[in-house]
Amino acid sequence: MIYDPTNRAHANRDKVDLAWLAVSKEVKEPGETSSKMASKLASDILTYEVNRPGSFLSSWNNRWKEPMVIAIGFEGSANKLGIGIVRDGEVLANPRRTFVTPPGQGFLPKDTAAHHRRHILDLLREALNEAQVQPQDVDVVCFTKGPGMGAPLASVAIVARTVAQLWDKPLLGVNHCIGHIEMARLVTGARDPTVLYVSGGNTQIIAYLSGRYRIFGETIDIAVGNCLDRFARVLKLSNDPSPGFNIEQLAKRGKKFLPLPYAIKGMDVSFSGLLTYIEEKAPLLVQSGDYTPEDLCFSLQETVFSMLVETTGVKELSLINRIMFLT
Amino acid sequence: MGDWGLLKQGAEARIFKGEFYGRPCLLKERFKKNYRQPALDELLTKERTKAEVRMLMKCRLIGLPIPALFLVELEKGRIYMEYLEDAITVKDRISSLEGGGGGDRTSQEMKRLAGLIGQSLGRMHSHNIIHGDLTTSNMLLRLSAANRLYLIDFGLSFVDGRSEEKGVDLYVLERAILSTHPNCDALFQEILQEYAKEYITGGKEVLRKLDDVRLRGRKRTMVG
C-alpha cells in the first residue's frame, strides 16, 4: 500500500500514528497523570483500531496471515439460486440458476427447494472454479438467513453450514434486504443513498438515519413484483427469464393508456386493489378489442412505476434490483 | 399581482409566496411530472387539486383551522391560499423540543402537542375526512394564535366512512413519526388517546382496525 495523503483511509492512519507516538513515549519515560490519561486514551484507540474489521491497523496486524478477506455467499430465498465469491469488494464469481415455471404458474416452495438442492453443488464448484479460489482460501461463509420462502432458504442454509464445518470457517447469516442494499452500495459507490428496494416479495423505501436503516415507505399489502408476476399469469406470459421482463417487452409496444387505480397512502403504496381491478377487467377488455394485452402491460407498468417514483421522490435513487429482475 | 418568490420545491408541487390583493398569499402549483404518462399526469394533477380544495372547504365547515382559500386555477393546477405568517411545522416543533433537552417542561409540551394533533384528527375522522398523507410536516402550528394546529396538504384526501380507511390514515402517521422522529415513541400513543377521546362514536373501532393494518403486509413477523 502506497501512502496517499488525499485518501481518507490513509488520513485516518495519521491519527493512529500519533497515537502510536504517544504510547511509545509513555513506555519509555513514565510521566505525570495527564500524559498517563493521554496514553490510556491512545492505547484505547489502538486496541479499538486493531480489533475493528477493515481498519488499517487490523489489516496491518494480519498482514502476514491473509492478504485479503475472501467471502463466499449463498442465496436462495426465492426462485433464484446464487453463489458469490468476493475478495475485498471485488466480485470474483457470481453464477446463478433460476427456477422457471410454466406460463400461468408461480413457483411453489417445495419445488423451488428441490430445484436449489439439485443445482447447488454444481453451482458451488462452478463458483470456485471461476473465482480460482480453493476452499482453504475462503475466510467466511455467508448465507441468506431471511426473509424469504422457508423451504428454499433452509435447503441453501444446510449447504452453507455444511461447507463452513467441512472447511472450518466461520458462518455468517445475512439479512436478505441488507445484502441487497450493501451490494448495490458496493457496485454503484453511492455513499448515502435513498433506496427503493423492489422485487417479487419486497417494496420498500429505505434510508440510513441515526445508526440504522429505516423504512420510510413500503407497500401495505403485496409487493410490486408480485403484482406484475400475477398479472403476467393472467395473460399467460412466459416466466422465462422473468414475468416482469416479458411484461416490459409487451409494454414497449403498448399505445392506449387505461386509467387504473392509483393508490398512494402517504409514503406507502398499495397494489392489491390495482391487481384485482386489472385481473377482473383484462379478459373483458381484450375480448372486446378495446385494449390489446400490450396496452394493458403498458398501462400497468406506467401506473405502478409512477407510484414508486412518486413515493420515493428523491434525487439520488439507487435502484437495487432493476425492475426487470424480480427476485 | 406582483412578484412570486419560490419558497419550497417538493416532489409534488412548488410553493411560492407573494401577495394577493394586498394579503400575504401562498401559491401551490402542481407542476407537470415528466416521469409520468401525460394522460395519467393530467388526471392525477386535476384530481388532487380538486380534492385538496374541496377538503379544505369541508374542514372549514366542521371548524378545523385551515389557511383561507383565495383562488383556484384548476387547469393550471394552482391554488392560492392564505400565507400563515408565524407558522412552523410540527416536525420543526418536535425537533426544537427534543433539542431543548428532556425534563418535565419538554414532556409537558410534547403532551400538549400530542393532544392537539389527536383532537384535530379525531374531529376530522368523525366527519369521514381521510387525509391520505398525514405527517408531522403536513401540520402547521401557530404558537402565537394559542397553539392553533392547521392541517395542510390535502391532495391525497377523500371522504370515506369506513374505519378501514381511517385506520390506514393513522398507520401512515405512525410510520411517518417513527421514521422522522425515532426517539418519540410515546408521542403517537398520546395522539391515539386524545383521538379516541375526541372521536367518541367510532374511535375505538378505528384503533382496532389500526392493529389489523399493522399486521398486514408480507414478512412483517419474520426474523433474519
Q: Output the domain CATH number for residue B139.
A: 1.10.510.10
* pLDDT tens track for B83-103: 998 899 999 999 988 887 667
- Residue type (1 letter), B199: Y
What is the structure's pLDDT at A202? 85
What is the structure's pLDDT at B180? 84
Asked which of A9-18, A81-90, B114-123 is least confident by mean pLDDT, the reply is A9-18
Contact A147 B132 (CB under 8 A): no
The count of structural domains within chain B is 2
- Residue type (1 letter), A68: M
Whether B75 and B92 map to the same domain: the answer is: no
A189 SS3 class: coil
Contact B224 A219 (CB under 8 A): no
What torsion, rounded to 10 degrees, do the Cα atoms A14, A15, A20, A26 define?
130
* More reliable by pLDDT, A105 or B220: A105
∠ CA B203-B207-B210 to the nearest 5 degrees? 140
Residues B107-133 have a mean pLDDT of 94
Whether B163 and B114 map to the same domain: the answer is: yes
Residues A71-80 have a mean pLDDT of 95
Q: Which band of pLDDT confidence, cut at 50, 70 and 90, is reported for residue A52? A: confident
Q: Is the pLDDT of residue B220 over 90?
A: no
Q: State what percent of residues in chain A have pLDDT above 90.
A: 52
What is the structure's pLDDT at B222? 42
Whether B73 and B123 map to the same domain: the answer is: no
Whether B75 and B96 map to the same domain: the answer is: no
Q: How many CB atoms lie within 10 A of CB A56?
A: 18
- What span, in angstroms and rounded, lies between the C-alpha atoms of B22 and B10? 26
Residue that finishes a domain, picked among B52, B82, B112: B82
List active site positions of B.
133
Whether B124 and B163 map to the same domain: the answer is: yes
* pLDDT tens track for A278-306: 999 999 999 999 999 999 999 999 999 99
- What span, in angstroms and rounded, lies between the C-alpha atoms of A197 and A213? 12
Q: Which band of pLDDT confidence, cut at 50, 70 and 90, is reported for residue A242? A: confident
Q: In this structure, what are the phi and psi dihedrals at residue A134, rounded to the nearest 5 degrees?
A: -90, 150
Whether B202 and B101 map to the same domain: the answer is: yes
Using alpha carbons, list the distances in angstroms from residue A55 to A9, A51, A91, A182. Answer: 8, 8, 21, 18
Whether B104 and B210 map to the same domain: the answer is: yes
Contact of A263 with chain B, judged by CB distance below 8 Å, is answered with no
Contact of A309 with chain B, judged by CB distance below 8 Å, is answered with yes
What is the structure's pLDDT at B3? 80
Q: Is the pLDDT of residue A91 over 50?
A: yes
Contact B171 A220 (CB under 8 A): yes
Contact of A317 with chain B, judged by CB distance below 8 Å, is answered with no
Contact A266 B176 (CB under 8 A): yes
Q: Output the domain CATH number for residue B61.
A: 3.30.200.20
Instruction: Return the C-alpha cell found at B1.
Output: 399581482
Residues B188-198 have a mean pLDDT of 95
Q: Is the pLDDT of residue A311 over 80?
A: yes
Whether B217 and B109 map to the same domain: the answer is: yes
Per DSSP, helices labelled H in chain A are: 8-28, 33-51, 56-61, 109-131, 150-167, 176-188, 224-234, 243-251, 272-288, 293-312
What is the structure's pLDDT at B8? 87
Whether B113 and B193 map to the same domain: the answer is: yes
Residue that finishes a domain, picked among B58, B82, B106: B82
Contact A145 B218 (CB under 8 A): no
Average pLDDT taken over every residue of chain B: 89
Contact A266 B36 (CB under 8 A): no
Q: In this structure, what are the phi and psi dihedrals at residue A252, rounded to the nearest 5 degrees?
A: -60, -25
For residue B174, what are the domain limits?
87-223
Q: Is the pLDDT of residue A9 over 60?
A: no
* pLDDT tens track for A117-133: 999 999 999 999 999 99
Beta sheet of A317-319, edge-to-edge order = A212-218, A203-209, A194-198, A317-319
Whether B99 and B210 map to the same domain: the answer is: yes
Task: Say what the pTM is.
Answer: 0.73
Asked which of A23-32, A139-148, A173-182 is least confident by mean pLDDT, the reply is A23-32
Residues A257-263 have a mean pLDDT of 93
Strand A140-146 and strand A70-75: the pairing is parallel
Contact of A147 with chain B, judged by CB distance below 8 Å, is answered with yes
Residues B157-165 have a mean pLDDT of 94
- What span, in angstroms and rounded, lies between the C-alpha atoms of B19 and B13? 19
Which residues in chain A are closer than 8 Å to B11, comparing Cβ atoms? 310, 313-314
The domains located in chain A, with CATH, are 8-63 (no CATH), 70-188 (3.30.420.40), 218-326 (3.30.420.40)
Q: Is the pLDDT of residue A7 over 80?
A: no
Q: How far is Cα of residue B29 from the mean position of the Cα atoms in its chain?
A: 18
Residues A170-180 have a mean pLDDT of 92
Whether B93 and B184 map to the same domain: the answer is: yes
Contact of B220 with chain A, judged by CB distance below 8 Å, is answered with no
Contact B156 A268 (CB under 8 A): no
- For residue B210, give how far its alpha carbon lies from the nearest alpha carbon of chain A (Å): 12
Average pLDDT taken over every residue of chain A: 83
Q: Radius of gyration (Cα) for chain A, nearest Å?
A: 25
Q: How many CA atoms are closer than 13 Å to the CA of A33, on its beta-carbon side?
A: 0
Question: Which of A131-135, A237-241, B33-37 is the most confident on average?
Answer: A131-135
Q: What is the 3-state secondary structure (H, E, C) of A26-55?
A: HHHCCCCHHHHHHHHHHHHHHHHHHHCCCC
* More reliable by pLDDT, A198 or B26: B26
* pLDDT tens track for B19-36: 999 999 999 999 998 888
| Residues A201, A226 contacting (CB under 8 angstroms) | yes
Contact of A267 with chain B, judged by CB distance below 8 Å, is answered with yes
ipTM for the predicted complex:
0.77
Asked which of A214-218, B24-28, B59-63 is least confident by mean pLDDT, the reply is A214-218
Residue that finishes a domain, picked among B57, B82, B107: B82
- For residue B2, give how far its alpha carbon lies from the nearest alpha carbon of chain A (Å): 31
Minimum-distance CB partner of A267 among B43, B175, B182: B175
What torsion, rounded to 10 degrees, do the Cα atoms A128, A132, A134, A140 define?
-70
Whether B65 and B97 map to the same domain: the answer is: no
Q: Which band of pLDDT confidence, cut at 50, 70 and 90, is reported for residue A46? A: confident
Contact of A273 with chain B, judged by CB distance below 8 Å, is answered with no
Q: Is the pLDDT of residue A28 over 50?
A: no
What is the structure's pLDDT at A323? 33
Which residues in chain B are closer than 8 Å to A266, comparing Cβ atoms? 132-135, 156, 172-173, 175-176
